[in-house]
Chain A
Amino acid sequence: KAGVTQTPRYLIKTRGQQVTLSCSPISGHRSVSWYQQTPGQGLQFLFEYFSETQRNKGNFPGRFSGRQFSNSRSEMNVSTLELGDSALYLCASSLTAGGETQYFGPGTRLLVL
């Protein structure tokens, strides 16, 4: 069974631009969660989607948004990029909302210059 896939794997943007990251969950998984990982703040929860609905949201500004499609694929968008948005963005999928085991994708490494 294929794992969680994320595209792109690496991205370089400049301040003020916007970016869209994509996540395809494991087949049959309906929940997708997004996390930001930085050396200073560690792993922080961004949001969780289940059946195209946002179920939980972390403490991030409104510049961070996401959505989920009917095939469970998810995208997250960051508008008006700031230097501090440079991070590894990880998505994780699970069978159900708040599912017992989350399987993480390889991540998208975003560098904002």
Chain B
Amino acid sequence: ELKVEQNPLFLSMQEGKNYTIYCNYSTTSDRLYWYRQDPGKSLESLFVLLSNGAVKQEGRLMASLDTKARLSTLHITAAVHDLSATYFCAGGRRGNKLVFGAGTILRVKS
């Protein structure tokens, strides 16, 4: 059964700094998602990664996928306070259920 692990689970960053959140998964997953969740709110889709080597960028966030290493990363560039949220990665085989990681709580301090 697919297991998805994120690290770190909590990340406190200074504004302007860079950091990376890691998402490892245990078995084959042909799709990898990144979601953002603000406190008390629902999940907002950030990126969908479907193939090995896929890289997607939106603003200060960039996600990549290495299917051979079973690893996805979410890189944050020059963090700003507005990026404070919980970030989830999720994976699964097409047609099967999504399995979520535990989430990474990101706090950006000014």
- Nearest residue (CB) in B for A96 is B95
Cα(A16)–Cα(B61), bound, Å? 45
Main secondary structure of the interface of A (DSSP, over half): strand
- Per the 8 Å Cβ criterion, residues 24-80 of B in contact with A are 31, 33, 35, 41-45, 48, 50
Chain A interface size, as a band, is 20 to 34
A92 CB contacts on chain B under 8 angstroms: 43
B98 beta carbon closer than 8 Å to chain A: yes
Contact of A98 among B33, B90, B94, B100 (CB under 8 A): B94
Q: Is the CB of A45 within 8 A of B45?
A: no
- Nearest residue (CB) in B for A90 is B42
Number of interface residues of B (CB under 8 A): 23
A97 CB contacts on chain B under 8 angstroms: 95
Q: Is the CB of B42 within 8 A of A45?
A: no
Contact of B88 among A43, A103, A106 (CB under 8 A): A43
Q: From residue B87, how far is it (CB to closest CB) to chain A in Å?
A: 12
B95 CB contacts on chain A under 8 angstroms: 55, 97-98
17 contacts between A and B (CB under 8 A): A33-B97, A42-B102, A43-B88, A43-B90, A43-B100, A44-B100, A56-B96, A56-B97, A90-B42, A90-B43, A98-B92, A100-B31, A101-B33, A103-B45, A104-B44, A104-B45, A106-B41
